Amino acid sequence: MHARRHTTAGAGTARRARRTARGFTLIETALTTIIVGTGVLAIVSAQQAFFRQNEWSTHASTAQRLGNEIRELTLHMPRHDPVTGQTYWGPESSELGVNDYDDLDDFDGEEGEGTVFSAALGNGPISALGDTIPDMTGWSQRVFVEHIDPFEVTRTVADGASDLVRVRVVIEYQGPADDEPREITRVTWIAPG
């Protein structure tokens, strides 16, 4: 009889051990999967947002640099040609490239529509020395030179109607996946009379 009690007590302990040693239920496993999955998605989403932000800041700093290259190149140039003055807007016939430009109005192009320096055209972007900057695929510098009203500098006036000239450089970038170039930044300054 004594042995029997011991056996019955041993069987109860074995049953309790089986109950506590069982694994996760299906609901517990599903909840764990949902929680871990949500965490992983949040991390991936945060990483993508960081990548986009980092890409934009890199583009913004490159664009600012390219705008300032034009500013530095034109910093000490007169507004109009030293020989022809204001009689001819844009590059003179003897000025075939940026290294021949000797005044600000040369940068506004032949028709006053601006000049584009880009990797796609093979003439830019250019540095403050007028040289093409290598490895700048997709980047362009679009330069406009305009006469402005001395009393309202946001308003353009007819060529020669004012001594003030505003230079505006629009920096654009077209990545491999972009359908068309997108403006990254503008650098604008006034060349006084």
Model confidence over 58-88: pLDDT tens digits?
Answer: 889 999 999 999 999 998 899 888 887 777 7
pTM to 2 decimal places: 0.71
Domain tally, the chain: 1
Tell me the pLDDT tens digit for each residue of 125-183: 999 999 999 999 999 999 999 989 988 888 988 877 788 889 999 999 998 889 999 99
Q: Is residue 146 part of a domain?
A: yes
Using alpha carbons, select from 66, 47, 55 the residue that is nearest to residue 175.
55
Residue 99: domain span: 45-191
d(CA 99, CA 102): 8
Q: What is the pLDDT of residue 17?
A: 56
23 assigned to some structural domain: no
Q: Is 70 part of a structural domain of the chain?
A: yes
The answer to whether residue 26 is domain-embedded is no
